[in-house]
Structure formats: structure tokens, C-alpha cells
Amino acid sequence: MKKRQLGTSELFISEISLGGMSLSTDKTQAAAIVDMALDAGINYIDTADLYDYGANEEIIGATLGKRRHDVILATKVGNRWAEGVDGWHWDASPSYIKEAVHASLRRLGTDYIDVYQLHGGTIEDDWDGIIDTFEGLKKEGLIREYGISSIRPNVLQRFLPASSARSVMMQYSALDRRPEEWFNFIAKQGASVVTRGTVAKGLLTNSWQQRLQHVNGFNTYTAEELTTTLTDLALHYNNLHALAIAFNLKEPTIASTVIGASSQQQLAQTLASYEKINSITDFKVANELTKNEYYQEHR
């Protein structure tokens, strides 16, 4: 498993990362997946305080145990649960971030977080206060680096130049190429992209035909366009799962692609596809068959 530098930080993370959101709440099943990932050379695990009301952090923390120092551990803050209320609300206030980091540390069973990410953001947020808070957490040694999970161009333009953020988590895949416009900008700010949605809800895996039966399009692709695009991609590249990973990792701004796994079988499929990405070197057809669109909102 190759590693790439996360922005200009001292962190080097595996090209494939394990997304915690898909992990089972069964501790035994989750531990088996995490151990399998670590044994395969994956050293970056991404979670959030939002997932399963914090239980996801607890499970990952308990599973890592003595292997904690072999892992670059990332979690997120900003989406706040309220007791007695369905759903969550956005809270990026400095006071809440300071409160939430200690709660995450406790659940993860660790005394530091490698990458602490704001789990969204709007242009109206108190960005000076947010940045000062993250910088303060770094000075305290509670976090090593920080970043943001956001696709909003105006948020990235406000946050990155004014901070020392080194990570931007974004949805990106061959079926959602909107972030490409911003890769150079992000790199110039000393940050890297960590992608989510790489396999596009399973449409960019070798189970794409079955997945097609359960969706009515994807993003701006109609059902008909999606069927045609995936059929043509599969005919040319044969292994859509390998293509999905290779398509993302062809971008030097991307440090890692986060892929979830709810079973060891799913993780094994991802790892097997990763082993085949070096056989895909020509992305001309993939670029021609897929839409290269731009974000229309939050500009």
C-alpha cells in the first residue's frame, strides 16, 4: 500500500483509507474489518462524532487498542446532536469545538487526534474564531493537523488561505467530477484532498449492474445516461472498481480515497481492485464518457 503526503504536513497516509461510517455497530465484526485494513497497509481511518451518535468513534477506539500509534486517525466536528430532538444541527462555534474535541478524544480512547476536520461549514460561520480554535488545539497537542469536509467553493476560498488546514475531504468520482476545478487552488494552499464517494454508491464497482436496478439516475445523470455511461466504461476498462480508484489517484492533489466497508468481503474487493490500478494508465476514454461539470451553488 503506497502512501502520499497530506498537504505540506508531516503525515503520510495510505492511498486507500478506511471510512468508519459503514462499519457495523457489532464490535467483533468491526474489529475484523479494521484489523484486516491495518494488515493490508491502510493507515488512515476516517470517522466523525456524528456517526451512530458517537458510537462509531468508540468502536474504532476500542478496536485499535495497542495499534493506535500505527494509525493516522481522523474525525470530524460541527454536526451536533440535541437530546430529545430528531436529527442534528450545525454548531461550529469555538466553544462547541473545544467541548467536542474532548468528547471525541474520550470516545476514541486516545490523547490526540491526527486530523480534526470541520464537518461542513457555511460562508456565514465565524471563520476567524474557527481557525483560532483549531490552531489553539494544535498548540495544546490535542490535534496534529486540521482540515474541512466541504464541497462549497466559497467556504474553501474563505477557509484555506486564512488557515494552515492540510486536508479537504470532498465527494469526488468519475461520476462526480465537480471538484476538479478546485484541485490546483487547494494544492496551492498547502492542502490535499481526501475523497469520499469514490465508488459512487457502488455504481463504480463490479456490481454496477445490480446497483443500477436500485437507482433512478445519479447526480445529473438520468437513469438512461447512467446506464449508457457505465456500460461503455465497463466495456472499455473491464474492472469498474479498479477504474474508480485509479481515476481518483491519478490526481496529485488527492492524498487518499476513503472507501467504507460493512464486511470483510467488501474490503477484500476494494483491496483486490487497488492492486490492479497500475494497469490503468489511459483515462482519455473515461474523461470523454463522463460529465465534467462545475459547482453551481455556493460560489
The CB density around residue 67, as the number of other CB atoms within 10 Å, is: 13
Residue 272, pLDDT score: 97
Residue 121 lies in a domain: yes
User: Nearest to residue 203, comparing CAs of 241, 236, 163?
Assistant: 241
Residue 14, pLDDT score: 98
Grid cell in block for residue 83? 437530546
Tell me how far CA of residue 164 lies from CA of 7, 60, 129, 282, 294, in angstroms: 10, 27, 14, 35, 26
Residue 220 lies in a domain: no
Task: Outline where 141-274 has alpha helix (H).
Answer: 153-159, 183-188, 208-212, 223-237, 240-249, 264-274
Residue 94 lies in a domain: yes
Query: Which of the residues 51, 116, 237, 274 is marked catalytic?
Result: 51
Residue 60 lies in a domain: yes
CB 119 within 8 A of CB 126: no
Residue 54, pLDDT score: 75
Number of domains within the chain: 1
Residue 23 confidence (pLDDT) above 80: yes
Q: How confident is the model at residue 185 (pLDDT cuts 50, 70, 90)?
A: very high
Residue 216, pLDDT score: 93
Residue 140 lies in a domain: yes
Does 51 participate in catalysis according to the annotation? yes
Residue 14 identity (one-letter amino acid): S
Residue 243 lies in a domain: no
Residue 70 lies in a domain: yes
pLDDT digits (tens, 9 = 90+) for 123-168: 999 999 999 999 999 999 999 999 999 999 999 999 999 999 999 9
pLDDT digits (tens, 9 = 90+) for 48-61: 988 777 788 999 99
Q: How confident is the model at residue 71 (pLDDT cuts 50, 70, 90)?
A: very high
Residue 135, pLDDT score: 98
Residue 86, pLDDT score: 73
Residue 52, pLDDT score: 74
Residue 22 lies in a domain: yes
Tell me how far CA of residue 152 lies from CA of 47, 66, 170, 181, 296, in angstroms: 21, 38, 9, 12, 10
Cα angle, residue 116 at apex, residues 113 and 117 outer, rounded to 5° = 160
Alpha-carbon distance of 221 to 227, in angstroms, equals: 9
Domain containing residue 144: 11-198+251-277
Residue 152 identity (one-letter amino acid): R
pLDDT digits (tens, 9 = 90+) for 186-240: 999 999 999 999 999 999 999 999 999 999 999 999 999 999 999 999 999 999 9
**Which stretch of DSSP H or E encloses residue 114?**
strand 113-118
Residue 165, pLDDT score: 98
pLDDT digits (tens, 9 = 90+) for 77-97: 988 877 667 777 778 999 999
User: Nearest to residue 33, comparing CAs of 274, 258, 266?
Assistant: 266
CATH of the domain at 56: 3.20.20.100
